[in-house]
Amino acid sequence: MYLIAIGWLYVALMMAVVEASSTTGTVLGAVITFVLYGLAPTALLMYVLGTPGRRRILKAREAQAEAAHMAHMAQTTPGNSGQPNAGSEAPADAITPMRKEL
């Protein structure tokens, strides 16, 4: 992947050199040629092709953080099995149920 990017940047650089050394060309034209034909497409291509790697790294970090969190929770509450309502207390409702009056 990097070899293709380096090759394309070389081609764009040579295009810019020809533009700058031409009798009708300018240095500004050479810079614009290099940026628009070389840097911008290469940067976009490298960003798009690097997406799976960035996604894989992000998932690995999330899994590592989740494992560290679970290990921390297991150490801080040894009697807790990690299941809801694993304690000895009865669960409490957040809202008291209302009954119809007869």
Tell me which of 74 and 13 has the higher pLDDT: 13
The pLDDT tens digits of the residues spanning 36-78 come to 999 999 999 999 999 999 999 999 999 999 999 888 877 766 5
Contact 35, 43 (CB under 8 A): no
Contact 91, 85 (CB under 8 A): yes
Q: Label residues 25-48 b or e (16+ Cβ within 10 Å = b).
A: eeeeebeebbeebbeeebeeeeee
Residue 93 has pLDDT above 90, yes or no: no
**What local confidence, expressed as pLDDT, does residue 71 receive?**
84
**What local confidence, expressed as pLDDT, does residue 75 receive?**
76
DSSP code for 10: H
**What local confidence, expressed as pLDDT, does residue 84 receive?**
60
Average pLDDT (28-40) is 95
The structure tokens listed for 23 are 């009798």
| Global pTM value | 0.57
Residue 80 has pLDDT above 60, yes or no: no
